[in-house]
């Protein structure tokens, strides 16, 4: 099938670009001497996770248990769940993952003694051992235990319990991923975690509590930590590169990131033309998310997208813009890949304008 035959709005990914982004990130991470554990919250599709692993990634991250269930069922064997869980239903599901997929390694992120005590209780009853990774505060003031005595006590609390083991530390600074300018972003990223690495040297190591894994980093910061002792990077969005990430700057250009190319797009149709300089597309915010700004029209920056609500995208044309008529297709680059992808059931994989595969977005909506 040709892209022009897709009913719209339709989510597509360019396979050539996807493959080259996967290869490029693996190359960069290898060069840094690190392990790549890509975050799959961006794509939620086991087939893509397998592509990343075939290219050299040593496991994946998921945000939620629901996504981990999808990935384990899809045959992925090494999964870090990067968000703490709470409540007996969730803890039982975590234990069930261990029971149902005994040949898969799971690590669950936690940041409080509650998690340790409650998870250990259910794990012991079920006869499984659960690996826990401690999230530390890394500037975002989201989850994460403060670096200091609290961290030491939490590690010791894990070590004192049967049913759980201490796998390492997660230090992820989500708030810095989109800081403009490569240098500026890198300086801030290092400053946010340097205290942790000093504390590991000065306090954890002498006590024998040094973490085996130190996990963190994203598409904006994966190359910021040279000389610090991270073991693995969790970048995810590099795979698709949305408009927000294209604007953060790379090592050569403060305003543009060309390390990776835009692979994810939304094909839409012009459904109305109320005026010669204003047309309306069938892609509103129920398919193109706007939490990180407005989507961009692929190949024509003179057209401005304005949200028209759930189901409409209003397009303002200038004199330089290409002509758009009712019934014509238009292609958008999403501003935020994660929240756009989560609006679709299907991702069409395309090469040279032809649709080659129809991937079901199996982790879609699995925020549970
Ligand atoms: C804990 C964690 N690690 C890694 C990532 C991946 O970051 P990015 O998609 O910006 O590469 C995210 C994204 O939100 C995250 O929450």
The owner of tokens 């899809």 is: 74
List the beta bridge partners of residue 132: 108, 166
Residue 235 tokens read as 């970048």
Do 282 and 235 share a domain, yes or no?
Answer: no
| Residue 237 CB less than 6 A away from ligand 1 | yes
Report how far residue 359's alpha carbon sits from residue 355's, in angstroms, rounded to the nearest whole number: 11
Percent of the chain past pLDDT 90, that is, above it, reads 99
Could you read off the pLDDT of 57-71 as tens digits, one per residue?
999 999 999 999 999
| Residue 234 CB less than 6 A away from ligand 1 | yes
Q: Look at residue 76 and tell me if it is in a domain.
A: yes
Torsion on CA atoms 50, 212, 195, 37, rounded to nearest 10: 0
Give nearest CA residue, ligand 1 atom 3.
Answer: 234
The pLDDT value recorded for residue 293 is: 97
The pLDDT value recorded for residue 316 is: 98
Q: How much is the average pLDDT of 190-218?
A: 98
> Which of the 8 DSSP states describes residue 122?
H
Residue 334 tokens read as 């999403």
Do 85 and 163 share a domain, yes or no?
Answer: yes
Do 174 and 268 share a domain, yes or no?
Answer: no
Q: How many structural domains compose the chain?
A: 2
50 Cα to the center of ligand 1, angstroms = 18
Report how far residue 130's alpha carbon sits from residue 98's, in angstroms, rounded to the nearest whole number: 8
Residue among 22, 34, 41 whose CB has most ligand 1 atoms within 8 A, to mutate = 41
Q: Look at residue 19 and tell me if it is in a domain.
A: yes
Minimum-distance ligand 1 atom for the alpha carbon of 109: 1
Q: Look at residue 131 and tell me if it is in a domain.
A: yes
Could you read off the pLDDT of 296-308 as tens digits, one per residue?
999 999 999 999 9
| Residue 202 pLDDT > 90 | yes
Do 267 and 214 share a domain, yes or no?
Answer: no
Q: Look at residue 123 and tell me if it is in a domain.
A: yes
Where would I find the H helices in the chain?
15-31, 46-54, 65-73, 88-100, 113-126, 149-160, 182-199, 243-246, 337-341
Report how far residue 57's alpha carbon sits from residue 39's, in angstroms, rounded to the nearest whole number: 11
The pLDDT value recorded for residue 26 is: 98
Expressed as residue numbers, the domain containing 304 is: 3-8+259-360
Residue 154 tokens read as 């939490």
Report how far residue 269's alpha carbon sits from residue 330's, in angstroms, rounded to the nearest whole number: 6
Report how far residue 143's alpha carbon sits from residue 170's, in angstroms, rounded to the nearest whole number: 11
Task: Residue 341: give its domain's CATH number.
Answer: 2.40.37.20
DSSP states of 194-228: HHHHHHIIIIITTTT---SEEEE--TTTTTS-TTS
Do 217 and 317 share a domain, yes or no?
Answer: no
Do 157 and 27 share a domain, yes or no?
Answer: yes
Could you read off the pLDDT of 179-191 as tens digits, one per residue?
999 999 999 999 9
Closest by alpha carbon to 328, among 337, 315, 341, 345? 315
Residues constituting the chain:
368
* Residue 136: Cβ within 10 Å count: 25
Minimum-distance ligand 1 atom for the alpha carbon of 337: 9
List the beta bridge partners of residue 190: none
| Residue 64 CB less than 6 A away from ligand 1 | no
| Residue 255 pLDDT > 90 | no
Q: How much is the average pLDDT of 142-156?
A: 98
Do 139 and 284 share a domain, yes or no?
Answer: no
Q: Look at residue 324 and tell me if it is in a domain.
A: yes
Give nearest CA residue, ligand 1 atom 4.
Answer: 234
Do 346 and 204 share a domain, yes or no?
Answer: no
> CA-CA distances (angstroms) from residue 126 to 114, 119, 121, 243?
19, 11, 9, 46
| Residue 159 pLDDT > 90 | yes
76: left (phi over 0), alpha (psi -120 to 50) or beta: beta
* Confidence at 75, pLDDT banded by 50, 70, 90: very high
Report how far residue 30's alpha carbon sits from residue 17's, in angstroms, rounded to the nearest whole number: 20
Closest by alpha carbon to 59, among 42, 36, 41, 43? 36
SS3 186: helix
Q: Look at residue 28 and tell me if it is in a domain.
A: yes
Q: Look at residue 285 and tell me if it is in a domain.
A: yes
Do 218 and 72 share a domain, yes or no?
Answer: yes
Residue 304 tokens read as 């401005």
Do 164 and 307 share a domain, yes or no?
Answer: no
Inter-residue contact 298 to 17 (CB < 8 Å)? no
| Residue 254 pLDDT > 90 | no
Task: Residue 106: give its domain's CATH number.
Answer: 3.20.20.10
Could you read off the pLDDT of 273-329 as tens digits, one per residue?
999 999 999 999 999 999 999 999 999 999 999 999 999 999 999 999 999 999 999
Q: Look at residue 248 and tell me if it is in a domain.
A: no
Do 173 and 295 share a domain, yes or no?
Answer: no
Of 240, 271, 306, the position where a domain reaches its end is 240
Do 208 and 284 share a domain, yes or no?
Answer: no
């Amino acid at each position: 099938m040709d892209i022009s035959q897709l009913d719209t709005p339709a989510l597509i990914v360019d396979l050539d670009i996807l493959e080259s982004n996967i290869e490029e990130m693996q190359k960069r991470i290898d060069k840094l001497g690190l392990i790549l554990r890509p975050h799959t919250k961006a794509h939620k599709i086991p087939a893509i996770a397998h592509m990343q692993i075939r290219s050299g990634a040593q496991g994946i991250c998921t945000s939620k248990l629901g996504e981990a269930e999808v990935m384990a069922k899809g045959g992925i064997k090494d999964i870090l769940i990067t968000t703490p869980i709470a409540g007996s239903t969730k803890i039982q599901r975590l234990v069930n993952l261990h029971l149902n997929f005994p040949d898969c390694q799971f690590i669950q992120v936690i940041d409080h003694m509650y998690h340790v005590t409650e998870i250990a209780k259910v794990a012991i009853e079920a006869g499984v051992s659960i690996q826990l990774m401690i999230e530390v505060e890394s500037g975002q003031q989201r989850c994460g235990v403060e670096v200091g005595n609290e961290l030491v006590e939490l590690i010791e609390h894990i070590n004192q319990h049967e049913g759980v083991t201490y796998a390492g530390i997660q230090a992820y600074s989500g708030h810095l991923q989109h800081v403009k300018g490569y240098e500026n972003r890198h300086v801030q990223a290092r400053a946010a975690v340097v205290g942790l690495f000093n504390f590991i040297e000065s306090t954890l190591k002498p006590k024998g509590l040094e973490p085996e894994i130190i996990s963190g980093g994203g598409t904006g910061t994966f190359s910021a930590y040279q000389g610090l002792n991270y073991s693995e990077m969790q970048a995810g969005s590099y795979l698709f590169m949305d408009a927000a990430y294209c604007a953060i700057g790379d090592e050569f250009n403060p305003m543009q990131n060309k390390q990776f190319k835009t692979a994810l797009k939304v094909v839409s149709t012009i459904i109305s033309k109320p005026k010669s300089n204003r047309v309306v597309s069938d892609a509103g915010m129920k398919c193109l998310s706007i939490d990180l700004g407005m989507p961009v029209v692929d190949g024509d920056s003179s057209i401005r997208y304005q949200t028209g609500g759930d189901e409409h995208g209003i397009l303002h044309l200038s004199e330089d813009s290409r002509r758009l008529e009712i019934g014509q297709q238009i292609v958008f680059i999403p501003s935020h890949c994660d929240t756009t992808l989560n609006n679709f059931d299907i991702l069409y994989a395309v090469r040279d304008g032809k649709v080659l595969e129809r991937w079901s977005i199996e982790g879609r909506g699995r925020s549970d």
